[in-house]
Amino acid sequence: AAPTELDITFRSCIPRVSYRALPSLHPGLCRSVVPKALIMRLDFDALAFFDILIHLCVLCKSLIIIATFVYTIFSNKTPIQEMDLIQEIIDRAKAQPQHIVFPEGTEERTLKAADRLLRDSVVKLTLIGDPYAIRSRAHDLGLKHVLNANLLDPKNHEKKQAYIDLLLELRGSKGVTPEKAALLVEDPLYLACLMIKAGDADGELAGAINSTGDVLRPALQIVKTAPGFSCVSGLFLMFLPNSDYGHNGLLFFADCAVMPNPDAAQLAQIAVASAGTAKAISGVEPKVAMLSFSTKGSAKHEMVDKVVEATRLAKEQAPHLAIDGELQADAALVDKVAKLKAPGSEVAGQANVLVFPSLEVGNIGYKLVQRLAGAEAVGPILQGMAAPVNDLSRGCSVEDIYKMAAITANQAIAAKGL
Ligand code: ACO
């Protein structure tokens, strides 16, 4: 054969080559792997055409990869949305720095977060704990900014007697004796709440080493509820990856942290408080779904009755609020299901605030969404309290403490009407 003629498998090869194999396809390779019986004789022009085709395929594949990459970045709203919202919260805190107390002042993650918060001027801080222990821990960890915090020794400080008196005034009728008060004020969790009650601090953040109950009890006894509320509850911001549910994947879940079994009146308060928190923290217009295992009378049970009554009470308390119930989770979130199960509802299919009928459901629900759907859960943000006190998970990170301190500061700003 003449040297300008090449043996390749043009017609026989292409149909057998998968899309993924195209970039590696080369006439030379084809020539070497295809049985002689299939080989056709083509002239040089055909080879040039084939080469161009191959390069076009490679180019197309590259373009598809780039397009997929760009789509993935821009369609994945969650990280960007979460970063934006948290950054807004941090910026608002910086604009009017609030005085936050960390009762777990010697704890390592708390110290690291405190160092960053003070470095970034997000809040003013009091760390409760033995000042010598705090300084030496900070030194060991190489932290400098944390030394700008107010360090408060719970056993020995100038306002100790004033706080004992305040505690007696608040809890004397509940059986707190002077001896007991003298002991309780040395408990950092009680001391932090007394500081808030006395107006010496704006908010508290704890829970890195203490249980939720231990953090909440002194707050409920001393800081107490905000006017118009008798019930404190805990809300989570849930950032869902690649989701259009709620507000572009941002949902608010409550109560996931405090009230084990709220009655209808308490559930109504949780709904109204959650709508307020959602609006205050994110600016998102709340659409509140009162969740149940029934949608608009599809099931009959006293547990359903509670949710129906709570919805009625919440509407009474907040007539302009977009709230509906009882709704199943799919009717609350999915437009198609909503049209079938709750036609005409202004909330069904578009809910962004989900109110659970009990703590059992709320706590299990948020953890399932966090673990199974990969949602970022920020909270619990306590609501209904006279001043902000927030609880951390004992598994929290330095980043979690930093974010929650900024959220606590935002709540303090909102509570003061600043
Ligand atoms: N809202 C307002 N006030 C309350 C509430 C509430 N939700 N709950 C209790 N109180 C008040 C009581 O009326 C009482 O007031 P008083 O002493 O002035 O009369 C005071 O708080 C203390 O009440 P107690 O009954 O002594 O406190 P209790 O032992 O019930 O503890 C607590 C309250 C801590 C909130 C409890 O209900 C509890 O442990 N809840 C569950 C917390 C929890 O474990 N959550 C799950 C983990 S969190 C997570 O996973 C994110």
Dump pLDDT digits (tens) for 148-166: 999 999 999 999 999 999 9
Query: pLDDT value at position 414?
Result: 85
Tell me, using a 6 A CB cutoff, whether residue 213 lines ligand 1.
Answer: yes
Query: Higher-confidence residue: 20 or 38?
Result: 38
Burial per residue of 50-76, b for 16 or more beta-carbon CB atoms within 10 angstroms, e otherwise: beeebeeeeeeeeeeeeeeeeeeeeee
Q: Which of 70, 82, 407, 66 is nearest to 243 (CA)?
A: 82
pLDDT digits (tens, 9 = 90+) for 271-319: 999 999 998 888 889 999 999 999 999 999 999 999 999 999 999 999 9
pLDDT digits (tens, 9 = 90+) for 228-249: 889 999 999 999 998 989 998 9
Query: pLDDT value at position 158?
Result: 95
pLDDT digits (tens, 9 = 90+) for 337-385: 999 999 999 999 999 999 999 999 999 999 999 999 999 999 999 999 9
Q: Which of 149, 83, 191, 96 is nearest to 415 (CA)?
A: 96
**Token digits for 182?**
């003298």
Query: pLDDT value at position 4?
Result: 42
- Roughly how many angstroms between the first and final C-alpha of the chain, as a whole number? 90
Using the atom order of ligand 1, give the atom closest to the CA of residue 363.
Answer: 50
Query: pLDDT value at position 63?
Result: 72
Roughly what angle, to the nearest 10 degrees, separates helices 77-95 and 398-415?
50
Nearest-CA residue for atom 2 of ligand 1: 231
Question: Running DSSP on this structure, what letter comes out for residue 401?
Answer: H
Tell me, using a 6 A CB cutoff, whether residue 363 lines ligand 1.
Answer: yes
Query: Higher-confidence residue: 375 or 45?
Result: 375
Residues in contact with 270: Cβ distance below 8 Å, sequence separation at least 6, in sequence order: 231, 233, 254, 255, 259, 262, 355, 384
Q: Are 353 and 321 in contact (CB under 8 A)?
A: no
Residue 208 β-bridge partners? none
Tell me, using a 6 A CB cutoff, whether residue 304 lines ligand 1.
Answer: no
Spell out the SS3 assignment of 8-59.
ECHHHHHHHCCHHHHHHCCHHHHHHHCCHHHCEEECHHHHHHHHHHHHHHHH
Residue 73 has pLDDT above 60, yes or no: no
Mean of the per-residue pLDDT values of the chain: 86
Q: How far apart are CA 56 and CA 305, in angstroms?
A: 65
Q: Which of 194, 410, 401, 386 is nearest to 273 (CA)?
A: 386
Nearest-CA residue for atom 46 of ligand 1: 257
Q: Which of 170, 223, 225, 258 to mutate to test the pocket of ligand 1 (most atoms within 8 A of CB)?
A: 258
Using the atom order of ligand 1, give the atom closest to the CA of residue 236.
Answer: 51
CA of 119 to the centre of ligand 1 (A): 35
In the structure, what pLDDT confidence band is assigned to residue 179 with cuts at 50, 70 and 90?
very high
Query: pLDDT value at position 68?
Result: 53
Q: Which of 40-49, 216-225, 399-408 has the lowest mean pLDDT?
A: 40-49
**Token digits for 85?**
């919202």
Phi, then psi, of 99 in degrees rounded to 5: -95, 110
Using the atom order of ligand 1, give the atom closest to the CA of residue 262.
Answer: 7
Average pLDDT in the 21-46 region?
A: 46
Query: pLDDT value at position 37?
Result: 45
Tell me, using a 6 A CB cutoff, whether residue 225 lines ligand 1.
Answer: yes
Tell me, using a 6 A CB cutoff, whether residue 268 lines ligand 1.
Answer: no
